[in-house]
Amino acid sequence: MLNMLHFSSLYTLNLPLKKYQMDDALFYDRMQFAFTITFHYLFPQLTMGLSLIIIYFKGKFLKTQLDKYNDAAHFWMKIFAINFAMGVVTGIPMEFQFGTNWAKFSELTGGIIGQTLAMEGMFSFFLESSFLGLFLFGEKLLGHKLHFLTGFLVFLGSWASGYLIIATHSWMQYPVGYEILENGKFVLTNFSALFSNPWFLPSYLHNQAASMVTSSFVVAGIGAFYVLNKKHLEFGKLFLKTGVVFGLISSILVAVPTGDLVAKNVAKYQPVSFAAMEGLFDTEEGAEIVLIGQPNIKEKRLDNKIAVPNILSFLTYNNWNAEVKGLNEFDESLYPTNIPGLYYAYHIMVGLGTVFIGVLLIASFLLYYKKLYVKKWILWSILFLIPFPYIANITGWYTAELGRQPWLVYNLLKVSEGASPTVSAGNTLFTLLGFIGLYLLLGMLFLILVGKIIYKGPNTLKA
């Protein structure tokens, strides 16, 4: 559903796929889902990671009784509060949109994905919402230990939410534990299969580690900002150190083992998407890994290619000379809808992930030798990298979603079969424009308010 770049179908000649028209309701259904989910996911990725970092600060305070840790927790709680509110308000439309815009999909698969989505409401949202208020404003009322506990419960709620969403996502990527009735409805036959799905755990851990990377760069980046600005130096250094350490661990976990396992799943269960992601047209033994290049679908080759031989075979099958299937191996009717979009999304994600590991390794090295706070070039690098984990997270999701196209439920139900039959293009465009306007406003408010908090800096007066 995240396929934003349908224009690719212009390039894919002779495909038996429906070409999208600008007056096609399906086109706007997809644009609206893509827009609202992309905007929404800017917030939960920070919520999930930052909640862990905040309870780390709070835990440090409980252990050391040093006020700076509690002040640090307070500072990030202020940003967390706004970020969380944004995540909640942009999250509500997500659950509604399955019904409003994807009614056919909901009708056919609701007995299965409704299961995990309803669990998210019951287990996660109640937990988060009941304790968020106490966590944000109840410190004096509760005392420090109970306050730490409310923080932990909010963290647990947000990670449970991710857990159930990715269980849902995994079923769409690799359907298990189901049966299809004569009327086309999917019914659940095995509940525990939803969670033992081989697609699920690697994806979940990959996603959580990636959200930790975002949060680590935000924390370290703001720290770098204070150090470069020579303001709030003590906090600047604390944020830098914490962010760099959390960031290094999580950015490595994103690649190994989680990213590696996710890629192997794609190669195993969606080989045609894997070939498209990697930009591999011909089946090769000792397949090369493409670093840079532009896919030319018409001519079936990559332009301006820079590649390293044998690496892809090794990464995929732990064998330097293993055969990796290229796109030419498959019938064109099986191709992902938007091959260039998928290829770029994947390469941007992997490229950025590599940059993060590199920068954080250098930063950790400098931290160890007590040079981190004085080397301006690394501080500037960390500061400017703040937006990029967001891009990596979003393009990672695009990779998963574009890779699944044209399927809603892989190999079983097409995107074009899932939209609401009675909602016209005009109505969807109307609401899409409304969402764009409203979210632009929200985005501006978020930046202004968070900017204000960052500029003011941590409050060292005892709260």
Partner 1 sequence: MELFWYIVLMFMLGVYVILDGYDFGAGIIHLFFAKTEEDKSAITKSIGPFWDANEVWLIASGGILFFAFPTLYASSFSGFYLPLIMILWLLIFRATGLELRSQVNNVMWHKIWDKAFGISSLLLALFFGLALGNVVRGVNLGIVENGVSTQEAIYFFVPLWNAEFSPFSERLGIIDWFTILLGLLAVVALTIHGANWVIFKTNSSINKKLKGIIFKLNIVLCVLVLVSVVVWGKVSENSLQNFINHPWLFVFPFIGLIGLLNLFRIKKMKKDGLGFLSSSLFLFGAFASTAAALFPVLLPSTNTVNPSLTIYNTAADAYGLSVGVYWWVIAFILVIVYLIVQFRVFKGKMDNVPYGHH
Instruction: Decide if 65 contacts 116 (C-beta within 8 A).
Output: no
Q: Does 381 bind partner 1 (CB under 8 A)?
A: no
Question: Does 170 help bind partner 1 (rule: CB under 8 A)?
Answer: no
Does residue 107 touch partner 1 according to CB under 8 A? yes
Q: Which among 241-249, 270-278, 406-414, 430-438 is the span making contact with partner 1, rule CB under 8 A?
A: 430-438
Residue 459 is a binding residue for partner 1 (CB under 8 A): yes
Check binding of 440 to partner 1 (CB under 8 A): no
Q: Cα(272)–Cα(349) distance, rounded to whole angstroms? A: 19
Query: Looking at 74, 169, 206, 241, which residue binds partner 1 (CB under 8 A)?
Result: 74
301-308 and 289-296 as β-strands: parallel, antiparallel, unpaired?
Answer: antiparallel
- Alpha carbon 211 to chain centroid distance? 7
Residue 452 tokens read as: 């204000």
CA end-to-end span of the chain: 46
Rule CB under 8 A: say whether 455 interacts with partner 1: no
Which one among 139, 278, 288, 401 touches partner 1, defined by CB under 8 A?
A: 139
Number of residues that bind partner 1 (CB under 8 A): 69
Query: Rounded CA gap, 434 and 436, in Å?
Result: 5
Pick between residue 188 and residue 334 the one whose CB is nearest to partner 1: 188
Query: In terms of CB distance, is 196 or 328 closer to partner 1?
Result: 196
Task: List the interface residues with partner 1, window 183-212 (CB under 8 A).
Answer: 185, 187-189, 191
d(CA 249, CA 178): 37
**Cα within 13 Å of Cα(164), Cβ side:** 21
CB nearer to partner 1: pick between 358 and 434: 434
In whole angstroms, what is the distance from residue 118 CA to residue 434 CA?
27
Least separation in angstroms between residue 421's CB and partner 1 is 5
**Sequential DSSP letters for 88-150:** HHHHHHHHHHHHHT-HHHHHHHHHHHHHHHHHIIIIIIHHHHHHHHHHHH-HHHH-HHHHHHH
255 vs 450, which CB is nearer to partner 1? Answer: 450
CB of 435 to partner 1, least distance (A): 8
Least Å distance between CB 398 and partner 1?
Answer: 24
Is residue 144 a contact residue for partner 1 (CB under 8 A)?
no
Closest CA to 176 of 193, 192, 160: 193
31 lines the binding site for partner 1 (CB under 8 A): no
Dist CA 93 CA 103 (whole Å): 14
From the CB of 454, what's the least distance to partner 1, in Å?
Answer: 13
The region of 45-53, 54-62, 96-104, 286-294 touching partner 1 under the rule CB under 8 A is: 96-104
Which two structure tokens, joined as six digits, stand for 340? 């260039």
Using CB under 8 A as the binding rule, whether residue 224 contacts partner 1 is answered as: no
Which of 9, 38, 100, 283 is the binder for partner 1 (CB under 8 A)? 100
Measured at the alpha carbon of residue 106, what is the angle toward residues 103 and 107, in degrees to the nearest 5? Answer: 85
Q: What is the CA radius of gyration of the chain?
A: 23
CA separation for the pair 61, 67 (Å, rounded) = 7
Nearest approach in angstroms of CB 256 to partner 1 is: 34
Residue 27 near partner 1 by CB under 8 A: no
Residues binding partner 1 (CB under 8 A): 74, 81-82, 85, 88-90, 92-93, 95-96, 98-101, 103-104, 106-107, 109-112, 114-115, 117-123, 125-127, 129-134, 137-142, 181, 185, 187-189, 191, 420-424, 427, 430-431, 434, 438, 442, 445, 449, 452, 459, 463
